[in-house]
A = this chain, B = another copy of it.
């Protein structure tokens, strides 16, 4: 029963590492190779897990769960590299990049979808689907390039938090208005207040309590194996869980906040070493591959190609203009602002989840859904090489 999963894990990790290696040899970020490794193994090309040896639904589901843990650990690792002062210093460009980076896709989405025959409601919905950035791929690429703590890297991370609040908030607004659940403006204020309160509370509590808890655990010489790493894993899981359940923001945002809250902890290096092995040797590669595993390029019919192309172009252009323009207005130089815009291109599971809700509510038709799925895939794939292009070359560190 466990044997096919062992084989699938070994195959996934091997392909991911080989893909990353090949990608790096071709001058591309390692992330790209791992994403392509997933496409190669998945239904788009080889479809290996459809072999009778594997129980496809089970194996792909398990890899997806490992991957979800992977993206949580990835964003925690990114947070661990960031001090809160870094983020507040990047406050103005981050805020403006976040706000305009959400508004531009909605505006351009409406402008692009109405001529294609979508009604206003449907067009706004398509815009909303395009509004939520998923910063994990960019964070991984910037870590790889050694640029996570650059001015634009910090603005990008701050903008991603703002983006998360706004994009999910805007969706909640839309749903509240559309379903007429009676809340009106008061409930909208409530939604945003809840998000901001959670973020402030999680950071405040985390940065006060966690270093103290770690010092206590370390000082007591507890008869438990790996007490520091164990505690940190539990904390990351709880923050990720609570951010969706308590705060209404994405799980990865909670994991990122936990990382920032621990970035000044005295045992940071030990945390980093323990989590790094767990994350980058196991869970994160599985996350990157599982993205490709879930895409099926073969399901695309030729008739959809126009819509797909329009969606992808709008998704890319709107983020670069919106988030990049916001960062420029916030005080970054043009090249830096461009990098922020490029870093915000990649979309992720939020868009997919929203889109599948839309299909059930009739806000999105089947070809619209296919277009969204491919938009997520394309924006994810183009982000690492575009980011690499946007940054002046230097020898990269680890990957």
A229 to B17, CA, bound (A): 12
Given A230-B13, A238-B10, are A225 and B2 also a contact pair (CB < 8 Å)?
no
Give A246-284 interface residues, CB cut-off 8 Å to B.
251, 273-278, 280-282, 284
1/0 contact string of A229-245 vs chain B (CB within 8 Å): 11101100110110011
The answer to whether the Cβ of A7 comes within 8 Å of any Cβ in the partner chain is yes
Secondary structure of the A contact surface, majority rule: helix
A399 touches B278 (CB 8 A): no
Given A2-B68, A6-B237, are A20 and B281 also a contact pair (CB < 8 Å)?
no
Residue of B nearest to A255 (CB): B6
The answer to whether the Cβ of A5 comes within 8 Å of any Cβ in the partner chain is yes
Q: Which residues of B contact A245 (CB under 8 A)?
A: 3
Interface size in chain A (residues, C-beta < 8 A): 52
Given A3-B244, A230-B17, are A225 and B10 also a contact pair (CB < 8 Å)?
no
A302 to B276, CA, bound (A): 50
| Residue of A9, A277, A282 with highest tally of chain B CB at under 10 A | A277
A251 touches B399 (CB 8 A): no
Q: Which residues of B contact A237 (CB under 8 A)?
A: 6-7, 9-10, 13
The answer to whether the Cβ of A57 comes within 8 Å of any Cβ in the partner chain is no
Q: Which residues of B contact A30 (CB under 8 A)?
A: 223-225
A86 to B137, CA, bound (A): 47
The answer to whether the Cβ of A180 comes within 8 Å of any Cβ in the partner chain is no
Given A20-B224, A226-B276, are A233 and B281 also a contact pair (CB < 8 Å)?
yes
Q: Tell me, rounded to whole Å, the shortest Cβ–Cβ distance linking A19 to chain B.
A: 10
A21 touches B222 (CB 8 A): yes
A20 to B21, CA, bound (A): 41
Given A238-B10, A281-B274, are A398 and B3 also a contact pair (CB < 8 Å)?
no
Q: Which residues of B contact A275 (CB under 8 A)?
A: 277
Q: Which residues of B contact A284 (CB under 8 A)?
A: 225
A281 touches B226 (CB 8 A): yes
1/0 contact string of A1-44 vs chain B (CB within 8 Å): 01101110110011001001100110000100000000000000
Residue of B nearest to A64 (CB): B2
B3 touches A225 (CB 8 A): no
A237 to B3, CA, bound (A): 9
| Residue of A6, A65, A276 with highest tally of chain B CB at under 10 A | A6
Residue of B nearest to A67 (CB): B2
A121 to B112, CA, bound (A): 75
Given A2-B251, A6-B240, A9-B237, are A285 and B20 also a contact pair (CB < 8 Å)?
no
Residue of B nearest to A271 (CB): B277
Q: Tell me, rounded to whole Å, the shortest Cβ–Cβ distance linking A35 to chain B.
A: 15
> What 8 additional pairs, Cβ within 8 angstroms, besides A30-B223, A225-B398?
A5-B68, A6-B237, A10-B237, A14-B234, A17-B227, A21-B224, A24-B224, A224-B399
A226 touches B280 (CB 8 A): yes
Q: Which residues of B contact A24 (CB under 8 A)?
A: 223-224
Q: Which residues of B contact A234 (CB under 8 A)?
A: 10, 13-14, 17
The answer to whether the Cβ of A62 comes within 8 Å of any Cβ in the partner chain is yes
A238 to B399, CA, bound (A): 24
Q: Which residues of B contact A14 (CB under 8 A)?
A: 234
Given A65-B2, A225-B399, A281-B274, are A241 and B7 also a contact pair (CB < 8 Å)?
yes
